[in-house]
Amino acid sequence: MYKYVGKRILLTIPVLLGAILLVYAIMYLTPGDPGTLILGITAKPEDIAALNHKLGADQPFFQQFFNYLKNIFTRFDFGNSYRSGKPVFDSILARFPTTFKLALMSMVLSSILGIALGIVSAVKQYSWLDNLLTTLAMFFSAMPGFWLGLMLMVIFALKLGILPFGGVDSWKGYVLPVITLSIGAAASQMRLTRSTMLEAIRTDYVRTAKSKGAPPKTVIWKHALRNALLPVVTSMGMNFGASLGGAVIIETVFGVPGLGMLIVESIRQKDTPMVLAATLFLAVLFCLVMLVVDILYAYIDPRIKAKYKS
Protein backbone atom coordinates (compact mmCIF):
# COMPACT_ATOMS: atom_id res chain seq x y z
CA MET A 1 0.00 0.00 0.00
CA TYR A 2 2.77 2.43 0.93
CA LYS A 3 4.63 1.54 -2.26
CA TYR A 4 1.52 2.35 -4.30
CA VAL A 5 1.08 5.71 -2.56
CA GLY A 6 4.74 6.52 -3.20
CA LYS A 7 4.38 5.70 -6.90
CA ARG A 8 1.28 7.90 -7.18
CA ILE A 9 3.08 10.80 -5.53
CA LEU A 10 5.97 10.45 -7.97
CA LEU A 11 3.55 10.39 -10.90
CA THR A 12 2.13 13.75 -9.83
CA ILE A 13 5.48 15.46 -10.44
CA PRO A 14 5.29 15.46 -14.29
CA VAL A 15 1.62 16.48 -14.05
CA LEU A 16 2.51 19.51 -11.93
CA LEU A 17 5.44 20.42 -14.18
CA GLY A 18 3.18 20.27 -17.20
CA ALA A 19 0.60 22.49 -15.49
CA ILE A 20 3.28 25.05 -14.59
CA LEU A 21 4.68 25.05 -18.12
CA LEU A 22 1.27 25.53 -19.70
CA VAL A 23 0.24 28.40 -17.43
CA TYR A 24 3.67 30.02 -17.68
CA ALA A 25 3.50 29.90 -21.48
CA ILE A 26 0.04 31.46 -21.53
CA MET A 27 1.05 34.27 -19.17
CA TYR A 28 4.26 34.85 -21.16
CA LEU A 29 2.37 35.18 -24.46
CA THR A 30 -0.21 37.64 -23.13
CA PRO A 31 0.62 41.33 -23.67
CA GLY A 32 2.12 43.42 -20.87
CA ASP A 33 5.16 43.28 -18.63
CA PRO A 34 5.72 43.41 -14.85
CA GLY A 35 7.67 46.67 -15.03
CA THR A 36 4.69 48.54 -16.44
CA LEU A 37 2.35 46.82 -13.98
CA ILE A 38 4.41 47.78 -10.94
CA LEU A 39 5.51 51.30 -11.93
CA GLY A 40 2.46 52.28 -13.96
CA ILE A 41 2.03 53.45 -17.53
CA THR A 42 3.26 56.94 -16.67
CA ALA A 43 6.73 55.71 -15.63
CA LYS A 44 9.77 56.40 -17.78
CA PRO A 45 10.60 53.70 -20.35
CA GLU A 46 14.16 53.36 -19.01
CA ASP A 47 12.83 52.79 -15.46
CA ILE A 48 10.43 50.13 -16.74
CA ALA A 49 13.21 48.44 -18.72
CA ALA A 50 15.52 48.48 -15.67
CA LEU A 51 12.87 46.89 -13.45
CA ASN A 52 12.08 44.22 -16.07
CA HIS A 53 15.80 43.43 -16.26
CA LYS A 54 16.00 43.19 -12.46
CA LEU A 55 13.04 40.80 -12.39
CA GLY A 56 14.41 38.78 -15.32
CA ALA A 57 11.34 39.53 -17.44
CA ASP A 58 13.49 40.48 -20.43
CA GLN A 59 15.07 37.01 -20.63
CA PRO A 60 14.04 34.31 -23.14
CA PHE A 61 11.05 32.16 -22.22
CA PHE A 62 12.82 28.94 -21.27
CA GLN A 63 15.44 30.79 -19.26
CA GLN A 64 12.71 32.50 -17.25
CA PHE A 65 10.89 29.19 -16.81
CA PHE A 66 13.94 27.27 -15.59
CA ASN A 67 14.89 30.12 -13.24
CA TYR A 68 11.38 29.91 -11.79
CA LEU A 69 11.69 26.15 -11.27
CA LYS A 70 15.16 26.61 -9.78
CA ASN A 71 13.82 29.03 -7.17
CA ILE A 72 11.05 26.57 -6.29
CA PHE A 73 13.23 23.47 -5.89
CA THR A 74 16.26 25.12 -4.29
CA ARG A 75 14.72 27.77 -2.06
CA PHE A 76 10.99 26.92 -2.14
CA ASP A 77 10.49 30.47 -3.34
CA PHE A 78 7.41 31.09 -5.48
CA GLY A 79 8.12 34.78 -5.86
CA ASN A 80 6.40 37.94 -4.75
CA SER A 81 3.20 39.39 -6.11
CA TYR A 82 3.72 42.17 -8.65
CA ARG A 83 0.78 44.05 -7.18
CA SER A 84 1.44 43.89 -3.44
CA GLY A 85 5.15 42.99 -3.35
CA LYS A 86 4.40 40.34 -0.70
CA PRO A 87 5.04 36.58 -0.97
CA VAL A 88 2.32 35.04 -3.09
CA PHE A 89 1.32 32.40 -0.56
CA ASP A 90 0.33 35.08 1.96
CA SER A 91 -2.60 36.00 -0.29
CA ILE A 92 -3.31 32.41 -1.36
CA LEU A 93 -3.57 31.06 2.18
CA ALA A 94 -5.72 34.01 3.21
CA ARG A 95 -8.22 33.38 0.39
CA PHE A 96 -8.18 29.58 0.32
CA PRO A 97 -10.44 28.87 3.37
CA THR A 98 -13.35 30.60 1.63
CA THR A 99 -12.90 28.53 -1.54
CA PHE A 100 -12.44 25.33 0.49
CA LYS A 101 -15.68 25.87 2.41
CA LEU A 102 -17.52 26.63 -0.82
CA ALA A 103 -16.18 23.48 -2.52
CA LEU A 104 -16.77 21.26 0.53
CA MET A 105 -20.38 22.35 1.01
CA SER A 106 -20.97 21.93 -2.71
CA MET A 107 -19.56 18.39 -2.68
CA VAL A 108 -21.63 17.35 0.35
CA LEU A 109 -24.87 18.76 -1.10
CA SER A 110 -24.31 17.36 -4.60
CA SER A 111 -23.35 13.93 -3.22
CA ILE A 112 -26.42 13.70 -1.00
CA LEU A 113 -28.77 14.76 -3.77
CA GLY A 114 -27.05 12.81 -6.56
CA ILE A 115 -26.69 9.49 -4.71
CA ALA A 116 -30.16 9.58 -3.14
CA LEU A 117 -31.95 10.49 -6.37
CA GLY A 118 -29.84 8.00 -8.34
CA ILE A 119 -30.89 5.16 -6.03
CA VAL A 120 -34.55 6.16 -6.27
CA SER A 121 -34.31 6.38 -10.06
CA ALA A 122 -32.68 2.94 -10.31
CA VAL A 123 -35.16 1.25 -7.97
CA LYS A 124 -38.11 2.85 -9.82
CA GLN A 125 -36.69 2.12 -13.28
CA TYR A 126 -38.93 3.10 -16.24
CA SER A 127 -41.50 4.70 -13.93
CA TRP A 128 -42.72 8.29 -14.35
CA LEU A 129 -40.44 9.31 -11.46
CA ASP A 130 -37.42 7.75 -13.16
CA ASN A 131 -38.22 9.53 -16.42
CA LEU A 132 -38.70 12.85 -14.63
CA LEU A 133 -35.45 12.59 -12.67
CA THR A 134 -33.49 11.50 -15.75
CA THR A 135 -34.86 14.41 -17.79
CA LEU A 136 -34.05 16.93 -15.03
CA ALA A 137 -30.54 15.48 -14.67
CA MET A 138 -29.86 15.90 -18.39
CA PHE A 139 -31.28 19.43 -18.31
CA PHE A 140 -29.15 20.60 -15.37
CA SER A 141 -26.04 18.83 -16.67
CA ALA A 142 -26.25 20.88 -19.87
CA MET A 143 -26.93 24.17 -18.10
CA PRO A 144 -23.92 26.56 -17.84
CA GLY A 145 -23.01 27.28 -14.23
CA PHE A 146 -22.53 31.01 -14.67
CA TRP A 147 -25.98 31.33 -16.32
CA LEU A 148 -27.65 29.39 -13.51
CA GLY A 149 -25.88 31.61 -10.97
CA LEU A 150 -27.13 34.76 -12.68
CA MET A 151 -30.70 33.41 -12.83
CA LEU A 152 -30.63 32.49 -9.14
CA MET A 153 -29.27 35.92 -8.35
CA VAL A 154 -32.09 37.60 -10.31
CA ILE A 155 -34.79 35.51 -8.64
CA PHE A 156 -33.65 35.29 -5.00
CA ALA A 157 -31.64 38.51 -4.66
CA LEU A 158 -33.25 40.96 -7.08
CA LYS A 159 -36.89 39.83 -7.19
CA LEU A 160 -37.47 38.21 -3.80
CA GLY A 161 -34.71 39.99 -1.86
CA ILE A 162 -34.19 37.09 0.56
CA LEU A 163 -30.54 36.43 -0.25
CA PRO A 164 -27.58 38.77 -0.88
CA PHE A 165 -26.19 39.45 -4.35
CA GLY A 166 -22.68 38.40 -3.34
CA GLY A 167 -20.05 38.28 -0.63
CA VAL A 168 -19.82 35.88 2.29
CA ASP A 169 -20.38 38.19 5.24
CA SER A 170 -22.93 35.72 6.62
CA TRP A 171 -24.11 32.17 5.95
CA LYS A 172 -26.66 33.53 3.48
CA GLY A 173 -23.83 34.57 1.18
CA TYR A 174 -22.88 30.91 0.65
CA VAL A 175 -26.37 29.72 -0.32
CA LEU A 176 -26.51 30.78 -3.97
CA PRO A 177 -22.85 29.92 -4.82
CA VAL A 178 -23.19 26.48 -3.22
CA ILE A 179 -26.44 25.74 -5.04
CA THR A 180 -24.93 26.89 -8.33
CA LEU A 181 -21.89 24.66 -7.89
CA SER A 182 -23.95 21.70 -6.67
CA ILE A 183 -26.71 21.45 -9.28
CA GLY A 184 -24.59 20.33 -12.22
CA ALA A 185 -22.48 17.97 -10.08
CA ALA A 186 -25.59 16.45 -8.47
CA ALA A 187 -27.12 15.83 -11.90
CA SER A 188 -24.03 13.99 -13.18
CA GLN A 189 -23.74 11.97 -9.96
CA MET A 190 -27.41 11.03 -10.12
CA ARG A 191 -27.00 9.63 -13.65
CA LEU A 192 -23.83 7.77 -12.66
CA THR A 193 -25.40 6.33 -9.50
CA ARG A 194 -28.45 5.20 -11.46
CA SER A 195 -26.38 3.35 -14.05
CA THR A 196 -24.07 1.67 -11.51
CA MET A 197 -27.01 0.70 -9.29
CA LEU A 198 -28.81 -0.88 -12.24
CA GLU A 199 -25.72 -2.96 -13.02
CA ALA A 200 -25.39 -4.00 -9.37
CA ILE A 201 -29.06 -4.91 -9.04
CA ARG A 202 -28.78 -7.32 -11.98
CA THR A 203 -25.78 -9.21 -10.58
CA ASP A 204 -25.97 -12.79 -9.31
CA TYR A 205 -25.22 -12.03 -5.66
CA VAL A 206 -28.14 -9.58 -5.49
CA ARG A 207 -30.47 -12.18 -7.05
CA THR A 208 -29.21 -14.69 -4.48
CA ALA A 209 -29.90 -12.27 -1.63
CA LYS A 210 -33.42 -11.70 -2.94
CA SER A 211 -34.05 -15.44 -3.32
CA LYS A 212 -33.01 -15.99 0.30
CA GLY A 213 -35.71 -13.60 1.41
CA ALA A 214 -33.57 -10.60 2.34
CA PRO A 215 -35.63 -7.42 2.81
CA PRO A 216 -35.54 -5.03 -0.19
CA LYS A 217 -33.85 -2.29 1.88
CA THR A 218 -31.08 -4.69 2.90
CA VAL A 219 -30.57 -5.78 -0.69
CA ILE A 220 -30.32 -2.17 -1.91
CA TRP A 221 -28.26 -0.59 0.88
CA LYS A 222 -26.03 -3.47 1.97
CA HIS A 223 -25.46 -5.53 -1.17
CA ALA A 224 -26.05 -3.35 -4.22
CA LEU A 225 -25.02 0.13 -3.08
CA ARG A 226 -21.62 -0.77 -1.67
CA ASN A 227 -20.48 -2.29 -4.95
CA ALA A 228 -22.02 0.54 -6.95
CA LEU A 229 -20.15 3.18 -4.93
CA LEU A 230 -16.71 2.76 -6.54
CA PRO A 231 -17.29 4.95 -9.61
CA VAL A 232 -19.47 7.27 -7.52
CA VAL A 233 -16.61 7.87 -5.07
CA THR A 234 -14.37 8.74 -8.01
CA SER A 235 -17.01 11.18 -9.25
CA MET A 236 -17.25 12.75 -5.79
CA GLY A 237 -13.50 13.26 -5.63
CA MET A 238 -13.37 14.72 -9.12
CA ASN A 239 -16.29 17.03 -8.35
CA PHE A 240 -14.56 18.27 -5.21
CA GLY A 241 -11.33 18.92 -7.07
CA ALA A 242 -13.22 20.55 -9.93
CA SER A 243 -15.13 22.72 -7.46
CA LEU A 244 -11.86 24.07 -6.11
CA GLY A 245 -10.88 25.16 -9.61
CA GLY A 246 -14.38 25.68 -10.99
CA ALA A 247 -15.13 28.13 -8.21
CA VAL A 248 -13.14 30.63 -10.30
CA ILE A 249 -16.22 31.38 -12.41
CA ILE A 250 -18.75 31.14 -9.60
CA GLU A 251 -16.72 33.33 -7.26
CA THR A 252 -16.45 35.93 -10.01
CA VAL A 253 -20.22 35.87 -10.61
CA PHE A 254 -21.10 36.24 -6.93
CA GLY A 255 -18.13 38.37 -5.89
CA VAL A 256 -16.88 35.79 -3.36
CA PRO A 257 -13.40 36.77 -2.07
CA GLY A 258 -11.86 33.35 -2.57
CA LEU A 259 -8.97 31.84 -4.44
CA GLY A 260 -10.87 31.87 -7.73
CA MET A 261 -11.45 35.61 -7.53
CA LEU A 262 -7.76 36.08 -6.69
CA ILE A 263 -6.73 34.18 -9.84
CA VAL A 264 -9.08 36.21 -12.04
CA GLU A 265 -7.81 39.49 -10.61
CA SER A 266 -4.20 38.37 -11.05
CA ILE A 267 -4.80 37.31 -14.68
CA ARG A 268 -6.33 40.68 -15.48
CA GLN A 269 -3.29 42.47 -14.07
CA LYS A 270 -0.80 39.89 -15.37
CA ASP A 271 0.49 39.11 -11.91
CA THR A 272 2.35 36.05 -13.17
CA PRO A 273 3.83 34.81 -9.85
CA MET A 274 0.40 34.88 -8.22
CA VAL A 275 -1.31 33.06 -11.12
CA LEU A 276 1.41 30.39 -11.24
CA ALA A 277 1.45 29.77 -7.50
CA ALA A 278 -2.35 29.65 -7.22
CA THR A 279 -2.64 27.28 -10.18
CA LEU A 280 0.08 25.01 -8.81
CA PHE A 281 -1.61 25.05 -5.41
CA LEU A 282 -4.92 23.93 -6.93
CA ALA A 283 -3.17 21.28 -9.05
CA VAL A 284 -1.49 19.80 -5.96
CA LEU A 285 -4.80 19.73 -4.10
CA PHE A 286 -6.53 17.98 -7.00
CA CYS A 287 -3.81 15.32 -7.16
CA LEU A 288 -4.08 14.76 -3.40
CA VAL A 289 -7.85 14.44 -3.60
CA MET A 290 -7.59 11.79 -6.31
CA LEU A 291 -4.95 9.95 -4.26
CA VAL A 292 -7.32 9.90 -1.26
CA VAL A 293 -10.07 8.57 -3.55
CA ASP A 294 -7.83 5.71 -4.70
CA ILE A 295 -7.01 4.85 -1.08
CA LEU A 296 -10.72 4.87 -0.19
CA TYR A 297 -11.24 2.28 -2.89
CA ALA A 298 -9.34 -0.22 -0.76
CA TYR A 299 -11.71 0.26 2.16
CA ILE A 300 -14.84 0.06 0.01
CA ASP A 301 -13.81 -3.00 -2.01
CA PRO A 302 -11.77 -5.67 -0.12
CA ARG A 303 -10.56 -7.10 -3.45
CA ILE A 304 -8.65 -3.92 -4.20
CA LYS A 305 -7.14 -3.92 -0.70
CA ALA A 306 -5.94 -7.49 -1.23
CA LYS A 307 -4.36 -6.42 -4.51
CA TYR A 308 -2.48 -3.63 -2.75
CA LYS A 309 -1.16 -6.06 -0.17
CA SER A 310 -0.02 -8.55 -2.75
Q: Read off the pTM.
A: 0.79
Count Cβ atoms within 10 A of the Cβ of residue 10 and give its class: 0-12 exposed, 13-18 middle, 19 or more buried: exposed
Give me the pLDDT at residue 227, please.
73
Asked whether the predicted pLDDT for residue 226 surpasses 60, the reply is: yes
Residues 125 and 179 in one domain: yes
Q: Do 293 and 175 fall into the same domain? A: yes
Give the model confidence (pLDDT) of 23-74 as tens digits.
888 888 888 778 877 777 788 888 888 888 887 778 888 888 888 888 888 8
Cα–Cα nearest to 187, from 125, 121, 241: 121
Q: Which domain holds residue 26?
A: 2-75
Can you give the pLDDT at residue 301?
65
pLDDT class of 305 with cuts at 50, 70, 90: low
pLDDT in tens, 79-113: 888 877 788 888 888 888 888 888 889 888 988 89
In this structure, are 131 and 42 located in the same domain? no
Is there a domain that residue 82 lies in? no
Q: What total number of domains does the chain contain?
A: 2
